[in-house]
Amino acid sequence: MKLLVLGGTVFLGRHIVDATLARNHEVTLFNRGQHNAHLYPDLEKLCGDRDGGLDALKGRIWDAVVDTCGHVPRLVSDSACLLVDAVDHYTFISSISVYNDFSATRIREDTAVGTLEDETVEEVTDATYGPLKALCEQAAEVAMPRRVLSVRAGLIVGVHDPSDRFTYWPVRVARSGEVLAPSSPEAPVQFIDVRDLAQWIMHMAEQKKTGVYNATGPAELLTFGQFLDACRETTGSDATFTWPSAAFLAGQEMPSLWVPGEKGGLFQADIAKATADGLTFRPLSETVCDTLTWARSRPGDHEWRAGLSPQREAEVLAAWHQAFTDLRIGGAGTSTGV
């Protein structure tokens, strides 16, 4: 198969390229050349810009395309329309964030998606990201009816993850000591190893599967407490976990350590459709171990994008223990929201 990858050098994109090459397919990359330009020196690289700079794609033929970097429907439409006679199949990497109501549980592919009052908006923010992704899906489908696979990916984790949202936890737990954890060990969590997602995407492209799929994991319910226990067991740490209340953490002026509670449905997506079509998951211990090994290979001055510094964590833990002590001394119950 001859595959065109829009993007292909950052996180999921590079893992898709790796999965494609492992299957002995031919890969062409199209991007601006601004990130990890040193990767894949033996592959064909077409340089251009999705906003008016698609000329390098003209007059070419591929079997399929994977769009890893579409965020604005106008630009996705431009790419899909240009490629309508150049490819048979279009995979668009979308997001679980497309859904409108995250207070619901077991979100399925037919659950209502978010909308924008002004669909010409192109600024990507926390509020517009999901609805824009939904409009991107629609733009691709309009250009290539019944030839589009829209992958609504959940939290993608693992080696080369630039967000640090998952990576923080294996690294922090491996450091041992008292670990400040989010407010409930019973909270459900979902995420998918980037390698599992990339391999499944290639499987689906090879089969020319179309339609919308939620793609996250694991196969069975996983709680945050179980996740942290797995980090401790895998890393051989003697860490202990302290779970302050949500009300206390909200008053600490600190970044979320995972995802805000009102988005609980984000971690309860129904993935039965994807697993029926071949989505599988490696052991959590493998993801934790490989992520930790990769994280330790980064420069010592790496600037973390998620989690807490050791100093800030110690301050919040001290404040929590003091608040608990004050409650006991004052004879108050635990119903104050501390």
**Residue 104, domain member (yes or no):** yes
Q: Give which of 244, 222, 90, 212 is closest to 155, Cα–Cα.
A: 222
**Residue 245, domain member (yes or no):** no
Residue-by-residue pLDDT tens, the chain, 338 positions: 999 999 999 999 999 999 999 999 999 999 999 999 999 999 999 999 999 999 999 999 999 999 999 999 999 999 999 999 999 999 999 999 999 988 877 899 999 999 999 999 999 999 999 999 999 999 999 999 999 999 999 999 999 999 999 999 999 999 999 999 987 899 999 999 999 999 999 999 999 999 999 999 999 999 999 999 999 999 999 999 999 998 899 899 888 787 655 566 788 899 999 999 999 999 999 999 999 999 999 999 999 999 999 999 999 999 999 987 876 776 544 433 45
Is the peptide bond between 218 and the residue preceding it cis, with omega within 30 degrees of 0? yes
Residue 238 pLDDT? 97
**Residue 200, domain member (yes or no):** yes
* Amino acid occupying residue 64: A
Provide the angle, in degrees to the nearest 10, between the axes of the packed helices 284-296 and 224-235: 60
CB 215 within 8 A of CB 274: yes
Residue 264 pLDDT? 65
Is residue 25 classed as helix, strand or coil in its secondary structure?
coil
Number of residues that make up the chain? 338
**Residue 266, domain member (yes or no):** no
Tokens of 335: 């119903």
Task: Tell me whether residue 116 is exposed, middle or buried, using C-beta atoms within 10 angstroms of its C-beta: 0 to 12, 13 to 18, 19 or more.
Answer: middle
Tokens of 135: 């409009």
Residue 258 pLDDT? 78
- Beta sheet of 26-31, edge-to-edge order: 44-47, 26-31, 2-6, 64-67, 89-95, 148-153, 211-215
pTM for the structure as a whole: 0.94
CB count in 10 Å sphere of residue 114 = 19
CB 196 within 8 A of CB 281: yes
CATH code, domain with 87 = 3.40.50.720
Quick one: how many helices (H) and strands (E) in the chain?
10, 11
Q: What b/e string do you get for 7-28 counting C-beta neighbours within 10 Å, with b at 16 or more?
A: bbbbbbbbbbbbbbeeeebebb
Q: How many domains does the chain have?
A: 1
Residue 262 pLDDT? 52
Residue labelled with tokens 């006991």: 328
Domain extent at residue 120: 2-161+188-215
Residue 259 pLDDT? 65
CB 130 within 8 A of CB 113: yes
d(CA 243, CA 13): 35
Residue 250 pLDDT? 87
**Residue 248, domain member (yes or no):** no
**Residue 281, domain member (yes or no):** no
Q: Which residues contact 219 (CB under 8 A, 6 or more apart)?
A: 271, 275, 280, 281
Question: What is the helix (H) or strand (E) element at residue 94, kind and residue range?
Answer: strand 89-95
**Residue 309, domain member (yes or no):** no
Cα 161 from chain centroid? Answer: 9
Q: Give which of 120, 249, 268, 125 is closest to 186, Cα–Cα.
A: 268
Tokens of 70: 């579409």
CB count in 10 Å sphere of residue 331 = 6
Q: Give which of 81, 23, 91, 24 is closest to 57, Cα–Cα.
A: 81
**Residue 197, domain member (yes or no):** yes
Residue 332 pLDDT? 47
Task: Tell me whether residue 327 is exposed, middle or buried, using C-beta atoms within 10 angstroms of its C-beta: 0 to 12, 13 to 18, 19 or more.
Answer: middle
Q: Give which of 20, 18, 14 is closest to 31, Cα–Cα.
A: 14
